[in-house]
């Protein structure tokens, strides 16, 4: 390649590529990511994922508002909303939740646990965890809508993506040299994590009308649980993979949605 070719070759914007990759990876929307998907692109994609969570949160809140306005029972509205969120993300996060539960329920070495997680099917631990978490999410999100706490719904879904950024913090290593985890784990700086957390805490002050500190306290507790959970998984699996990121996300939605309801 000549010097002129190098000068005239178009250069991609890494941040824009990362946003496109985030939508391509994490949604059913027809976005095309960059041709070269490396850790640099993966880092930008994870950094942008809370924006996707914010969009999903607004969509979920609107769906719940519309279904309740149509006089659907709030329990059914919650179930349909959780199902829609799974559809919007191709079910990848709930698949990760089930695989992580099976891995944690496995005796043996980290290599054996990772083998179980890659097996494809869901065992008893995975099925039981899916039932508890998804039913809990449906009832909690539906109850928040029934109480007109729509900001709490947005916070729960958006903050869940911030917990993924937290899980990909520097100092945590991927479990394998290939796969999704290898592209994103250990790529996020504490400065970026702190920025997203502060943004979540600010929005959370509006989640509970009679107590501006209730929402932020719930978010902090959920992030603390996500932090400890990723440490445990990193030790158990000798690193993190993409399945654990999905599990962190789904668990955070449940914790925040339930937490917003306490005392309300």
Q: Does the predicted model carry a pTM greater than 0.85?
A: yes
Residue 166 included in any domain: yes
Residue 21 included in any domain: no
Please report, in tens digits, the pLDDT of each residue of the chain (264 residues total). 444 444 434 446 767 777 788 888 888 887 776 777 788 889 999 999 999 999 999 999 999 999 999 999 999 999 999 999 999 999 999 999 999 999 999 888 999 999 889 887 778 899 999 999 999 999 999 999 999 999 999 999 999 999 999 999 999 999 988 888 889 999 999 999 999 999 999 999 999 988 999 999 999 999 999 999 999 999 999 999 999 999 999 999 999 999 999 988
Question: Which residues have C-beta within 8 Å of that of residue 160, sequence separation ≥ 6?
Answer: 53, 248, 249, 250, 252, 253, 256
- Specify the DSSP element, H or E, that contains 215: helix 214-237
Residue 35 included in any domain: no
Range of the domain at 222: 50-261
Instruction: Give the separation between CA 177 and CA 143, rounded to whole angstroms.
Output: 42
Residue 135 included in any domain: yes
Residue 6 included in any domain: no
Write down the pLDDT at residue 12. 60
Number of domains in the chain: 1
Residue 247 included in any domain: yes
- Specify the DSSP element, H or E, that contains 73: none
Residue 257 included in any domain: yes
First-residue to last-residue Cα distance in the chain? 66
Q: What is the pLDDT of residues 122-162, one digit of tens each?
A: 788 999 999 999 999 999 999 999 999 999 999 999 999 99
């Amino acid at each position: 390649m000549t010097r002129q070719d190098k000068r005239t070759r178009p250069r991609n914007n890494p941040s824009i590529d990362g946003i496109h990759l985030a939508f391509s990876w994490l949604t059913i929307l027809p976005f095309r990511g960059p041709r070269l998907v490396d850790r640099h692109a993966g880092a930008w994609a994870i950094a942008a994922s809370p924006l996707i969570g914010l969009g999903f949160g607004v969509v979920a809140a609107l769906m719940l508002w519309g279904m309740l306005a149509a006089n659907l029972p709030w329990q059914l509205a919650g179930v349909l909303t959780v199902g829609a969120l799974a559809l919007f993300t191709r079910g990848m996060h709930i698949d990760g939740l089930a695989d992580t539960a099976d891995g944690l329920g496995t005796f043996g070495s980290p290599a054996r646990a990772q083998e179980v997680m890659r097996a494809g099917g869901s065992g008893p631990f995975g099925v039981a965890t899916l039932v508890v978490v998804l039913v809990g999410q449906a009832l909690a999100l539906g109850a928040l809508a029934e109480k007109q706490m729509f900001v709490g719904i947005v916070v729960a879904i958006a903050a869940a993506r911030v917990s993924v950024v937290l899980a990909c913090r520097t100092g945590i290593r991927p479990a394998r040299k290939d796969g999704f985890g290898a592209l994103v784990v250990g790529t996020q700086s504490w400065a970026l994590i702190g920025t997203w957390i502060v943004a979540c805490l600010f929005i959370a002050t509006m989640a509970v009308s009679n107590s501006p500190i209730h929402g932020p306290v719930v978010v902090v507790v959920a992030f603390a649980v996500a932090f400890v959970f990723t440490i445990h998984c990193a030790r158990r699996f000798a690193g993190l993979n993409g399945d654990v990121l999905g599990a962190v996300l789904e668990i955070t939605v449940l914790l925040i949605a339930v937490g917003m309801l306490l005392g309300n």
